[in-house]
Structure 1
Amino acid sequence: MNPVTPSAATPSGPEPGRATSPVRTGRGAAPLPGRVRTAPVPVGEPGGAGGRTVAPSPLDPGASQDPHGIHRRLREEFPLTYDPLLRAWVLSRYADVATALTDGRFTHGHRPGDPPCARAHVDVDTAALRSVTERTAYVLARRIAERPQADLVADFCHWLPAGTVAAAVGVPYRDMMRLVRGRAAGALAGECGTQIAVREKALASFLGNVLSDPDQVAALRDAPAALVARAWTESLRRDPPVQIAVRRTASEVPVSGGTIPAGSSVALLVGSAGRDPERFRDPDRFDPLRDDPGQLTYGPGFCPAVLLAGIEAEYALRALFAEMPRLRLADGFRPTAAGLITRAPRTLIVRPGG
C-alpha cells in the first residue's frame, strides 16, 4: 500500500468548506449528494460559532500518539469531510474505505494485491522464498538470543525484510541495506518488492501485539501456520502499517455523508476503517480467533510482496520462539505506536532469556 503524501494531493470540485446541499452525518445517515467538511450544531455549543463545527484532522497535534479518538469522531460525525491539511476529501468508515480500495472509480496508486500492481510482478519460487526467509529469520534471532536485553525493532524487524530480499537475489549481506531498497527488491517482486519499510512496520506491530499478551505468546508459540496467519491478519486490521492512503476519483462517487466530486484526491483512513465498530466487534482488541476477521492493508495474496510479508511474519515468530523460548517484553515496557502516515512501535524492548 502506498502512503499518501499530503503535499501531493490536490483538491478538486467546489470550494472546500462550502456546502452545496444539506448532508446528514452519523451512523443512520444515508449517502446524500453534498460536499461539505462541516456539520450543523446548536449555536453556542463548543465549536459552534456560526452554527457549525469543524471536523478534526488526522494530522492534528497529538494524532501521532493517539489517532483513535480523532478517527472515532470522524466515523461518527464526519464520514465525508474535506481536510485542508491533507488537501483531500477524507473517508474513515470501513465500508467507504473498502470501496475506495477496490472500486474502479477510484484510481491513482495501488496497494499490494490490487490489479494495477500485477503488471509489475515477476514470477517467484514460493518454496525458495520460504527457505530463504526462514534462514534469514533464524540467523537474526541467534544474534540476539544471548543478550540480556534487545530491541526487536532495531535488531530484528529492521533487518528481516531487507535481509530476505537480499539473500533471495544474492546480494552480499554487507551490501544489503545499500542495494536492497531498489534494484534487488525489484528483481524479487517487481515494484511492490521495494516497499520494505512498510513490511518492517507491519512486522513490528505484529510482534508487539503478540508479545503484549502472555496468553497469545502461549497460543502462538507452537501454533500451526494457519493460526499464525490469522494472527498476522488480525494485526494488520488493528494496527495497519499504512494509516492513510490516497486515491483520486475518476467520476462522482456517492459515499456515507455525501458525494465526492470527480477528479478529487481522497485520503483513506485505513487505521480508522480497521477499528470501525460497525464492521468489527470489540475493534480495539487484538484477537486472532475473532469470527469477523478482515483487513485492508494488503491484498488477497497473489502479489509477491503480500506473500513475502506473510512469510516473514510466520518465520519471525517461529525463529524468535525457537531461539528464545522464554522471550518476553522487558519489565515495565509496553509497545507504543507512533506515526501519522505510517505507524508502528519504534522500539520493542525484550528480555530474550525471560
Structure 2
Amino acid sequence: MPTAQQVTDILSPEFAADPYPAYRVMRDSAPLLWHEATRSYIVSRYEDVERVFKDDRFTTDNYDWQLEPVHGRTILQLSGREHAVRRALVAPAFRGSDLREKFLPLIERNSRELIDAFRRTGSADLVTDYATRFPVNVIADMLGLDKADHPRFHRWYTSVIAFLGNLSQDPEVAAAGERTRVEFAEYMLPVVRQRREHPGDDLLSTLCAAEIDGVSMSDEDIKAFCSLLLAAGGETTDKAIAGIFANLLLHPEQLAAVREDRGLVPAAFAETLRYTPPVHMIMRQTATEVTLSGGTVPAGATVTCLIGAANRDGSRYRDPDRFDVFRDDLTTTTAFSAAADHLAFALGRHFCVGALLAKAEVETGVNQLLDAMPDLRLAEGFDPVEKGVFTRGPQSLPVRFTPVTD
C-alpha cells in the first residue's frame, strides 16, 4: 500500500490550496492510503466511496468521537430499527406536503428579505450578504427560534464544523467545539421544554409531539437534532449556493443558459454538488475486515471517504474536471434522492435527510438572485478562491449588477 509520503498530505497547505491534483494521484496510484496523522484509511475512487456508503459493514461509529462531543448523541450514530424509527420521526418535515406548504413560503420570504437589503445597490457579496445568512435564518424560522440570535447560531455552527474537520487535532478547536455543546444546550433545552408545554406550528413543536410505535424524542434527542440541523443545514447549503454562483460566473455561457432556462437550475445545483461539493470528506468505521481497491481495511478502522475526489473520477464521469450543467452522465431527476449518482449527500441509510430542503432553498435562492441581478458579474479583478479541507467553498464572492427598477 502506498504511504502518505508519496502523495500530497491532506493536512498540508498545498492540499488546502488545491486538493484536486492530489485527488487525481490518489485515485490513480493510491486508492487506499493509510494516513498516520488522522489514523485513518483514505479512499478516493468513486466505486470505493459508493461502496463504503452503501455497505452495512461500514458503520457510523466514528461519530461517537467525531460528533457526539459537540452535538450529543444524534441520528447519525444510530443503526437498525433505532435509526429507522428516529429517521421516520424527523423525515416528514423535510419532504412532501410539509416542505411544500409549511416551509417553502418561509424559504421564499427569508430569501427575499436578504435580497431586499442589496437589490437596489448594484453590488453585493453573495457569501457574506446572502449565502451564510439564508439557510441559518430558514432553519431558525422552521424551528420557531428568534432570528435575532443569528450571530450566535452562525458562531455555533462554524465551531461545530471546525470540530468535525479538526483533522490536525488542534486543541483550541476541540475546546471551542466542546464549549459550543454546553452553550447550545443551555440555550436550547429551555426552549424545548417551553415548546412541549405550549406547542406551536413550528418544526420544534412537531418534533416534541412526534411518536412512532410508542417511541418519541427526548429533550436531549431534540436538542442534538437541532444542533445537527443548524450545522449540517447551515454550512452545506451556504457553500452550495456560493459554489453554484462561483461556477456559473466563471462559465458565463452556462450562466446565460441557466438565466434563460430556469429549468436548468436543478442541473446547475447537481453539477455543483459533483464538481465542487460543500463536504469533501465523510468518515465511516469498519465493523469487519473489508477489501477495497488497493488493499484490505481491518475491522474497527476509520475510513476517510474523499467525496471531492470520487466525484471527479474519470471512470465514472466523462471529462470530470470540467463544470458542465449539460452533462448527460449525471442524473438531475435523482440527484436529490438516495438514488443519486453523485456522492455529495452520501448514500445508503444515512443519505442526507435534508436533501430536498437544500434543493428547495437553493432553487429558490438562485431564481430570486437571478431575477434581482439581470447582468450579474464578478467584481472587477476578483477571482473566486475555495477555502477549506473538510468542507470547502468560496469565502467571498463580490458581484456587480444593474439594479432592477420597480
* Bin of the TM-score, shorter chain as denominator length: 0.7 to 0.9
CA contact (8 A) 2:40 2:303 kept: yes
Aligned counterpart in structure 2 of residue 72 of structure 1, from 15, 20, 24: 24
2:161 counterpart residue number: none
1:169 aligns with 2:143: yes
Query: In the TM superposition, what are the counterparts of 1:1-354 in structure 2 within 5 Å?
Result: 36-38=1-3, 54-108=6-60, 109=63, 116=83, 118=87, 121-124=90-93, 125-127=98-100, 128-178=102-152, 183=188, 187=204, 191=225, 192-194=228-230, 195=232, 196-225=234-263, 227-293=264-330, 294-298=341-345, 304-353=353-402
What CA distance in whole angstroms lies between the structure 1 residues aligned with 2:89 and 2:280?
24
Superposition RMSD on alpha carbons, in Å?
2.8
Partner of 2:171: none
AA in 2 matched with 1:123: P
1:186 Cα offset (Å): 7.8
One-letter code aligned to 1:298: F
Q: Distance in 2 between matches of 1:186 and 1:256?
A: 43
2 CA distance for matches of 1:90 and 1:296?
Answer: 16
The answer to which of 195-204 and 91-100 deviates more is: 195-204
CA apart distance, 1:54: 3.1
Cα drift, residue 64 of structure 1? 1.0
CA distance in 1, matches of 2:7, 2:89: 39
Misfit runs of 4+, over 4 Å: 109-112, 114-117, 179-186, 299-304
Bigger share in helix: 2
Distance 2:88 2:363 in 1: 27
8 Å Cα contact 1:243/1:342 also seen in 2: yes
Q: For the structure 1 residues 54 and 306, does the alpha-carbon distance in structure 2 shift closer, same or farther, using more than 3 Å as the test?
A: same
Contact 1:148 1:353 in 2 (8 A): yes
Could you give the per-residue CA deviations for residues 109-129 of structure 1, whole angstroms, max 9, x where no partner exists? Answer: 4879x9957256253211222
> CA shift at 1:154, angstroms?
0.4
* 1:269 to partner: Cα distance: 0.8
Question: Structure 1 counterpart of 2:343, which letter?
Answer: L
Q: Any conservation in 1 of the 2:271–2:324 contact (CA below 8 Å)?
A: yes
Q: What are the Cα deviations for residues 261-307 of structure 1, in whole angstroms up to 9, with x where unaligned?
A: 11111111111001111111111111122111131111579855211
Gaps of 5+ in 2: 64-74, 158-183, 192-201, 208-221, 331-340
Are the equivalent residues in 2 in contact too, given 1:56–1:74 (CA < 8 A)? no
Where 1:229 maps in the other structure, the secondary structure is helix
User: Partners of 1:96 and 1:302 in 2: how far apart?
Assistant: 16
> Which region of structure 1 is more displaced relative to structure 2, 138-147 or 120-129?
120-129
* 1:223 CA displacement: 3.0
Give me the identity figure in percent: 35
Number of residue equivalences: 304
Structure 2: which amino acid aligns with 1:65?
A
Q: Deviations over 1:65-112 (max 9, x none)?
A: 111111111111111110112210110111101111121111114879
2:41 partner SS: strand
Match of 1:25 in 2: none
Decide whether aligned partners of structure 1 residues 38 and 65 sit closer, same or farther in structure 2, where only a CA change above 3 A counts: closer
Local SS of the residue matching 1:277: coil
Gaps of 5+ in 1: 1-35, 40-52
CA distance in 2, matches of 1:103, 1:149: 48
Return the offset for 1:232: 0.7
Pick closer, same or farther for the CA change 1:304–1:341 going to 2, 3 Å: closer
* Structure 2 residue matching 1:310: 3-state secondary structure: helix
Give TM-score, length-normalised by structure 1: 0.78
Contact 1:58 1:71 in 2 (8 A): no
TM-score of the pair, normalised by structure 2: 0.68
Alpha-carbon contact 2:244-2:272 (below 8 Å) kept: yes
Q: Distance in 2 between matches of 1:179 and 1:317?
A: 23
